[in-house]
């Protein structure tokens, strides 16, 4: 097994253990995450809109949390992510909040290219759907930086609170 994958697994297990073992952790702050769809604003026909995956998000309001998971990326490669987040207070009758942070992503960023690892921003709008379910809406703008180009994308995650 690749040493990068082993390192990611160890980090994920450690973060999950820390979040569950912390006395200030609340069950309401942990979510099972289902990665669902990605909308690309250019070259849509060359990319997959369905990006299934599974993850875990610990996102306490007003504190630092984390997120970790795996998914099939826009080109069908098996991708992984791990990052930190900060949840704002809730707005509009507790129906909306924002998450800000950064994520290390290991995925295929360009068609027919090898997988790369990059740090990307993590801006999220979280909308409560039901008592234990919410929807993360996130994305990134089209960026040209240091000889690299990235396509604008918006992606969606369905989150389920288990307790």
Report pLDDT digits (tens) over 65-90.
Answer: 999 999 998 888 999 999 999 999 99
Task: Give the pTM.
Answer: 0.76
- List, in order, residues 6 or more apart from 83 with CB less than 8 Å away: 66, 67, 68, 101, 102, 103, 104, 122
Number of Cβ within a 10 Å radius of residue 39: 13
User: Residue ranges of the domains in the chain?
Assistant: 3-20+28-160
Quick one: pLDDT at residue 92? 92
Quick one: pLDDT at residue 44? 73
Residue pointed to by tokens 């989150």: 159
CA dihedral 147, 151, 154, 156 (to 10 degrees): -80
Token couple for 158: 């369905």
Quick one: pLDDT at residue 114? 92
For residue 46, CA distances in Å to 60, 143, 151 come to 37, 18, 12
Residues of the chain with pLDDT under 50: 19, 21-25
- Distance in angstroms between the alpha carbons of the first and the last residue of the chain: 34
- List, in order, residues 6 or more apart from 64 with CB less than 8 Å away: 84, 85, 86
Tell me the fold of 3-20+28-160.
Answer: Porin (2.40.160)
């Amino acid at each position: 097994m690749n040493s990068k994958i082993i390192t990611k697994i160890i980090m994920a297990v450690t973060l999950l253990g820390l979040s569950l073992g912390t006395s200030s952790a609340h069950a309401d702050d942990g979510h099972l995450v289902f990665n669902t769809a990605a909308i690309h604003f250019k070259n849509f026909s060359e990319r997959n809109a369905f990006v299934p995956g599974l993850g875990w998000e610990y996102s306490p309001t007003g504190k630092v949390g984390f997120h970790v998971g795996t998914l099939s990326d826009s080109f069908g490669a098996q991708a992984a992510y791990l990052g930190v987040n900060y949840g704002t207070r809730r707005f509009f009758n507790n129906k909306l909040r924002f998450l800000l942070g950064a994520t290390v992503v290991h995925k295929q960023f360009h068609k027919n290219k090898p997988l790369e690892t990059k740090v990307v921003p993590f801006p999220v709008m979280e909308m409560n759907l039901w008592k234990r379910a919410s929807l993360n809406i996130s994305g990134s703008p089209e960026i040209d930086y240091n000889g690299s180009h990235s396509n604008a994308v918006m992606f969606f995650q369905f989150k389920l609170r288990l307790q």
